[in-house]
Amino acid sequence: MNKISALQKARAAYAPKLPAALANGAAVTINEGGATTAVADVEKVQALFKTTFGSPVLTFAPGKGEKSAARNVGVILSGGQAPGGHNVIAGLYDGLKSLNADNRLYGFLKGPDGLVKGEMVELDDAIIDAHRNTGGFDMIGSGRTKLETEEQFEAARANCEKAAISALVIIGGDDSNTNACVLAEYFKANNIPIQVIGCPKTIDGDLKNEWIEASFGFDTACRVYSELIGNIGRDANSAKKYWHFIKLMGRSASHIALECALQVQPNITIISEEVAAKKQTLGEIVDYMASVVAARAANKMNFGIALIPEGLVEFIPEIKVLIAELNDLLAANADAVEKMDKNEKVAFAAGKLSAESAKVFASLPAGIQMQLCNDRDPHGNVQVSLIETEKMLAEMVGTKLKAMKAEGNYSGKFSTQTHFFGYEGRCAAPSNYDADYCYSLGFNAAALIGAGCTGYMSSVRNTIKPASEWIAGGIPITMMLNMERRHGADKPVIRKALVELDGAPYKHFVANREAWAIETSYVYPGPIQYFGPSEVCDLVTKTLTLEKGGNI
């Protein structure tokens, strides 16, 4: 057996909390809401999801602990790692065993690929117990393969049938839960008796809506980044000589940057959604950042912290248009582009873009041009984690400050350090919030399977309250769908939840950002606490607290 840390050993004994509805096991009493619709493009979504569209929202109440016939279930981890994935599987396992001790759980290996290739392992007490309350996805691995072809669906069916699996749980983000929905529809429409249930995972925090109030992993990841940013803030305030430009993961949405800003109170935080709404140009963003640097320098503070969301470039209007053109161009010429090296790709793109986009493309540093031409992920997304926006902005702000100095508008010193925080937080041991939430999501997925549901996402709500008041149930995934352009074609996808500019978290940030810019008001959250008083161990994100009307 691998050597484990003292913390992991002690943490293995933590018993995650469950909503009251699941206290007697996963055989629950079901309350059905009315028929549902899609968030947009209703007719198109309905036409694509003929058998699963319109299912009701379900809420659960405690059942009487009835047993059901034994069955086999498969589970898949899909997409990027997020703290708490192992607890979803542990909750699912315990929930299934509560329905019938002979129920069996199989883990498909390396994500959706394992389902298509039939690579799986049976999960038993020893495997599950070794992974309770741990970070990572290493129990069964993950992957980003998109399930979309009939060939893949048929392979999935055949592999499930081989192991007599009659239900699948797909743990993933918006794209993976879209896959779950498409697969559920395929099975149901073809009378294949395999249920499909989704669970909301992603550190990005962008898979949320009225019923799914948080994606798991967001809480833990933000706490890890906030600890690091706080530590850097303390270093900056001690040495007083560096501006730290910190890019934070989160793909398109700025939820992580905003949550970290609320936790640490840095001098600058760029919110991509605001940039898009105000149609800010790259030049305007640089001007704003330089103005804060200059204002602090005037107060003899030649140091600071700037947070930059990973997906920023996609939200700057002129770069967004450029990326959309590049996406279509690269998709339409995929075979030819695959054979090109980085420089050839840049030259090819520059020659085919519209005049306006070609101008924008030419204005970007060569490194960024290459990064924008990198391969898309299997879902057609630009891999924003590979674009070094923090370095680009540090360089551009430096150039702007030189010009301001020459004009006599700035007299400080500007030395930078750049950082990118993402992978540091994705596999951290889950906080109490994520440990409890994930275990509940998994246990609740077993309840949805027991209730015979398909095409549903496991939903656990009211999580700012003690777990005994959490509301468990299921949401039809079709409710969250709309049509979007991917790989040059319109596809049904779960609508991403971006930062809402009329939402309480953003408003709180805006009300304070000027003071945070000029003063040095850093808060140092410190590391996640797993043992100790509830007020340091059982925290809820500031984002969720404010969204639910609380104070921070």
**Binding map of ligand FBP across residues 197-226, x = CB under 6 A, - = no contact:** -----xxx----------------------
Closest CA to 175 of 327, 331, 39, 379: 379
CA distance 497 to 204: 10
Among residues 251 and 487, whose Cβ is nearest to ligand FBP?
251
**Binding map of ligand FBP across residues 146-185, x = CB under 6 A, - = no contact:** ---------------------------x------------
Among residues 113 and 310, whose Cβ is nearest to ligand FBP?
310
- The two beta strands, 72-78 and 104-108, are parallel
Amino acid at position 130, single letter: A
Q: Which of 25, 74, 80, 136 binds ligand FBP (CB under 6 A)?
A: 80
Residues in the chain: 552
Least distance in Å: CB of 71 to ligand FBP? Answer: 29
75 part of the interface to ligand FBP, by CB under 6 A: no
Among residues 94 and 175, whose Cβ is nearest to ligand FBP?
175
Instruction: Write out the binding residues for ligand FBP, residues 436-455 only, by CB under 6 A.
Output: none
141 part of the interface to ligand FBP, by CB under 6 A: no
Three-state SS letters, 289-335: HHHHHHHHHHCCCCCEEEEEECCHHHHCHHHHHHHHHHHHHHHHCHH
Q: Which of 24, 281, 385, 512 binds ligand FBP (CB under 6 A)?
A: 385
CA distance 262 to 238: 22
Instruction: Write out the binding residues for ligand FBP, residues 245-304 only, by CB under 6 A.
Output: 249-251
Closest CA to 290 of 268, 260, 262, 323: 268
CA distance 360 to 132: 49
Q: Which of 174, 175, 204, 219 is catalytic?
A: 204
Taking contact as CB under 6 A, which single stretch among the options 78-86, 222-230, 334-342, 514-522 is the one that binds ligand FBP?
Answer: 78-86
CA distance 214 to 222: 13
CA distance 458 to 447: 9
Q: How many residues interact with ligand FBP (rule CB under 6 A)? A: 15
> Is 219 marked active-site?
no
Among residues 79 and 91, whose Cβ is nearest to ligand FBP?
79
Residue 469: how many other CB atoms lie within 10 Å = 12
List, by residue number, the catalytic residues: 204
Site for ligand FBP, rule CB under 6 A: 79-80, 82, 173, 202-204, 249-251, 310, 384-385, 422, 426
